[in-house]
Chain A
Amino acid sequence: MLAPNPTVAPVEQLARSHRLRPLELAPWLVAGASFYVFDIYLPLGAQILINVLFALSLDLILGYAGIVTLGHAAFFGVGAYTVGILAVHGGWAEPLTGLIAAGILAGVLGIVTGLVILRTHGLTLLMLTLAVVFMLYEAANKATHITGGADGLQAFAIDPILGLFRFDLFGRTAYLYTLAVLFIAWAFVRLLVHSPFGRSLTGVRENVTRMHAIGAPVRRRLVTAYAISAALAGIAGGLLAQTTQFVGLNTITFERSGEILIMLILGGVGRLYGAFIGPPLFMIAQDTLAKNEPVFWLFYIGLLLVLVVMFARGGVLGLIDTLWAWFVRRRR
């Protein structure tokens, strides 16, 4: 995010980084224009926006705090099931409070598991995040009378938003609703990563020993970030449940954790906007390529991962940075 700029002192550059740059409005212009231009693809568009939110939540812990997790779908799934179970068994179909409930439950799960998981690191941490998502999958699979088991929770109704806007067949309401939630979440996460709290997360990622030495409450910072990220992932899951009126076991799998990780990597980790670039690229490609040849799609995704790790570790945004730096050097 902070491309070295020789004309500005590093301190000044840091102090400036929180200011809104014009380019940061681009995703919102594109999303807004897509509503009119690609109006027949709005259901796919809402799915993309949901994954952008999910990737953004992952970026907070992976990109900023440096927690490598393969279990982030646990929170996404808990959010989705919260909305589904409330609507099916509790008759609670109001969307905004449903979303808040999804966020709170996922956040609480984030605190509980974070307190346990973040005591460890490396392979052990990776295994514990995997164990959480597998346990929840087993629970959702076996508790058929609550979760519907392998059939999932189907065709539950969600009330109009604020009592005004019905979810329509063309996905207009769903798209705009998702976009609004994403905007609020983005503003919040942006504020967070530029705050002292966000800076201290980056400090933990870069040099945990030094953070301990200067007296930063490392564990508490990590657990807080983990819980916030979990709550955001839960909201993303809740959005999926509300906009598709379906919750299945695939919301809570290791595969979904891996997929969102891939989307984020593709865009660029720890840059806030990688989460806005990876999911659209991945999902549009998947929509066009994977329908006919799912086997080839899997192969290309694997190849792409290997290539990104070997040659483009910053993802698409990293490539743009490299090209830009090269361009600036050429001009001088």
Chain B
Amino acid sequence: MEAVIAAAVSIVFLGLSYAMILYIVSVGLSVTMGLMGFTNLAHGVFAVAGGYVTLTLMNSHGVPFFAALATAFAVVAAASVILERFLYARLYGASELEQVLFTIGLIFMAVAGAQYVWGPFPQRMQLPDYLRGQISLGFRDFPTYRAFMIVVSLALIALLWFGVERTSFGAQVRAAVDNRRMAQSLGINTGRLFTLTFALGSGLAALGGGLGAEILAIHPAYPIEHLVYFLIVVAVGGLGSLRGPFIAAVLLGVGDTAFKYLVPEFGAFFIYAAMIAVLLWRPAGLFGRG
């Protein structure tokens, strides 16, 4: 009995840390897709770019972990503004097929570029000393790094939710998601709003990539390999929502960890079956509209 409880606690703990990374990376995608209806398959590119910036700064230049993460956020957010203004913005009215193809093209270029610069192998992370080893939570020990990830992610999520629910900027975003044309007629500059949201979402993805580098290894094929999981979080959670993807990420993170631990021979089979079931029950996702 004790062994079962111990296993369950491990699964929930590992699953939660995984879920936090999935959420931090995907939440920006949910908001931007809800805002502009843009099918962006290349969101993982921002996450892996954040991972590369973080790891390169830490490993080659001895930059501390937090400073490296902050730089990754800034660099990727700035780069995403350029991409958004010059490329994405031209395809807002385009068909879904064109958006899908365009973002697949971006993924391919990013994968090839990353492989050219950093080589095909995963980047190793040199964890700072204070994140190594185990930490005791009274009743048992947990890996410090995983616990740290959960805490930092929860802080980020609290900040994000406060920003969207309590600030004027957040109110504008919510208004534009609900009814873009109405928001425009009220004088909200939705173009600028979207650029800002896009930058914020990409920056968050970069943080997720850097923070989660030990769980989702930083290597060139990252944007393709994890694409489906990021999309599951958004589709199951519901477009344009903050709460939906959180719940979807927790279900996916814990569920995936549990299935891989309990029935490894079935791999990700159950996850896809569960996703199909949810999407048939609620085609717009758990918290989606429409």
A residues in contact with B234, CB < 8 Å: 123
Asked if B116 and A295 sit within 8 Å, CB to CB, the answer is: yes
Q: Is B269 an interface residue (CB 8 A)?
A: yes
Chain B residues near A265 (CB, 8 Å)? Answer: 101
- Chain B residues within 8 Å of A262, by CB: 101, 104
A296 within 8 A of B: yes
For B178, the chain A residues whose CB sits under 8 A away are none
* Chain B residues within an 8 Å CB radius of A254: 224, 228
- A224–B147 CA distance with the chains assembled, in angstroms: 52
* B46 CB → nearest A CB, Å: 16
Whether A296 pairs with B112 at a CB distance below 8 angstroms is yes
* Residues of chain B within 8 A of A152, CB atoms compared: none
The CA-CA distance from A258 to B252 in the complex, in Å, is 25
Q: Kindly state whether residue B265 has any CB partner on chain A within 8 Å.
A: yes
A300-316: which residues lie under 8 A (CB-CB) from chain B?
301-306, 308-310, 313
Given A68-B97, A124-B283, A295-B115, CB of A305 within 8 Å of CB of B269 = no
B266 touches A138 (CB 8 A): yes
Chain B: interface secondary structure?
helix
Complex: how many Å from CA A302 to CA B102? 8
The CA of A262 and the CA of B109, in the complex, are separated in Å by 14
A189 at the B interface (CB under 8 A): no
> Is the pair A128, B98 in contact by a Cβ cutoff of 8 Å?
no
Cα distance, A159 to B109, chains bound together (Å):
44
Whether B112 contacts A302 by the Cβ 8 Å rule is yes
Q: Which of A62, A127, A295 contacts B279 (CB 8 A)?
A: A127
Which of A22-30, A77-85, A129-137, A278-286 lines the interface with chain B? Answer: A129-137
A310–chain B nearest beta-carbon distance, Å: 7
The stretch that binds B, out of A114-122, A237-245, A317-325, is A114-122
- Choose, from B20-28, B166-174, B270-278, the stretch at the interface: B270-278
Task: Given the known inter-chain contacts A124-B235, A313-B98, please indicate yes or no for A299 contacting B108, CB distance below 8 A.
Answer: yes
C-alpha gap A134/B285 in the complex (Å): 20
Question: Is residue A141 contacting chain B, with contact meaning CB distance below 8 A?
Answer: yes
| Contact across chains for B279 and A128 when beta carbons are under 8 A apart | yes
Judge whether A70 is part of the interface by a CB distance below 8 angstroms: yes
Interface residues on A, range: 35 or more
CA distance A305 to B105 in the complex (A): 5
Min CB–CB distance B160 → chain A (angstroms): 22
Question: Given A68-B100, A120-B279, A309-B98, is A130 in contact with B105 using a C-beta cutoff of 8 Å?
Answer: no
- Determine the chain A residues whose CB is within 8 A of the CB of B279 once the complex forms: 120, 124, 127-128
Is A123 touching B239 in the complex (CB atoms < 8 A)?
Answer: yes
With A131-B272, A131-B276, A141-B267 already in contact, the answer to whether A123 and B102 are too (CB < 8 A) is no
Is residue A142 within 8 Å, beta carbon to beta carbon, of the partner chain? yes
A185: Cβ under 8 A from any B Cβ:
no
Residues of A within 8 A of B283 (CB): 119-120, 124
Which residues does chain B contribute within 8 Å of A70, judged by CB atoms?
A: 100
CB B119 to nearest CB in A, in angstroms, measures: 10
Chain B residues, CB < 8 A from A127: 231-232, 235, 275, 279
How many whole Å from B225's CB to the nearest CB in chain A? 10
CB of B165 within 8 A of chain A?
no
Whole-angstrom CA separation of A141 from B107 in the bound complex: 25
Whether, in the assembled complex, B140 has its beta carbon less than 8 Å from a beta carbon of chain A, the answer is no
A-B contacts, 13 of them at CB < 8 A, read A122-B39, A123-B239, A127-B279, A130-B231, A296-B112, A298-B111, A298-B112, A305-B101, A305-B108, A309-B94, A309-B101, A309-B105, A310-B102
Q: Which 3 A-B pairs have the closest CB atoms?
A: A302-B108, A305-B105, A299-B112
Could you list 8 further interchain pairs (A-B, Cβ under 8 angstroms) beyond the known A68-B97, A295-B112? Answer: A127-B231, A138-B266, A142-B266, A254-B228, A261-B104, A301-B105, A302-B104, A310-B102
> Which positions in B face A, CB cutoff 8 Å?
33, 39, 87, 90-91, 94, 96-98, 100-102, 104-113, 115-116, 224, 228, 231-232, 234-235, 239, 265-269, 272-273, 275-276, 279-280, 283-285
User: Which residues of A are at the interface with B, using a C-beta cutoff of 8 A?
Assistant: 62, 68, 70, 116, 119-120, 122-124, 126-128, 130-131, 134-135, 138-139, 141-142, 254-255, 258, 261-262, 265, 269, 295-296, 298-299, 301-306, 308-310, 313
